[in-house]
Amino acid sequence: MTRLLTLAAVASLLCGCGLQPLYSGGSAGPVARAIGQVEIDPIEGKAGWLVTNALKDRLGAVSSGGAPYRLVVKLDDQIRGLGVRRDNSVTRERRTLRARYQLVDASQGTVVLDQTAGSDVGVDVVQSDYAVVAAENTALERLSVIIADQIVARLALYARRRAQPQP
């Protein structure tokens, strides 16, 4: 009986916390509709191609030319050596991918959201050059997905704030 009362008390506290689902309404909800109307400007390089594809997968965006918003992304991709042996060869690398992105209102040309996203990953440097290149490419693929997820989450929060009625 005590457990049931405790569970009821916790449930009543959670009801008043004010949390609301971000994607309420599913694909027909205001957030899903808003982020589905974003056209992604071309992003340079291999990392740009990977981030663009990850963004398109998440946004469901197709470059149709009539979207009310444009997403402009600039990437900074770096690989730095961390561990060094006595013979000055690198034993570990850190691959860092940073993005500065702007959501632009296409009709007015104004920037409505200006943010950054980023992540990094460690790569072991082994004797096989092929293995190192494969690890660096895998790291870039993972970082591209992480960056795209961060961008979409922030775009969704922006769309949610715009969809809420102002008091």
What integer pLDDT is reported at residue 20 of this predicted model?
60
What integer pLDDT is reported at residue 63 of this predicted model?
47
4 in a domain, yes or no? no
Q: How many domains does the structure of the chain reveal? A: 1
Q: Which domain holds residue 33?
A: 22-163
Q: How confident is the model at residue 158 (pLDDT cuts 50, 70, 90)?
A: confident
Q: With contact defined as beta carbons under 8 Å apart, do 155 and 38 qualify?
A: yes
Question: In angstroms, rounded to a whole number, what is the distance separating the alpha carbons of residues 35 and 55?
Answer: 10
15 in a domain, yes or no? no
9 in a domain, yes or no? no
What integer pLDDT is reported at residue 78 of this predicted model?
95
Q: Is the pLDDT of residue 30 over 80?
A: no
2 in a domain, yes or no? no
Residue written as tokens 């769309």? 159
Task: Supply 2's token pair.
Answer: 């005590």
Beta-strand runs (E) in the chain: 38-40, 69-81, 92-105, 110-124
Give residue-wise pLDDT tens across range 42-71.
999 999 999 999 999 988 754 455 678 899
Give residue-wise pLDDT tens across range 69-79.
899 999 999 99
Give the angle 151-133-95 at the CA atoms, nearest 5°. 40
109 in a domain, yes or no? yes
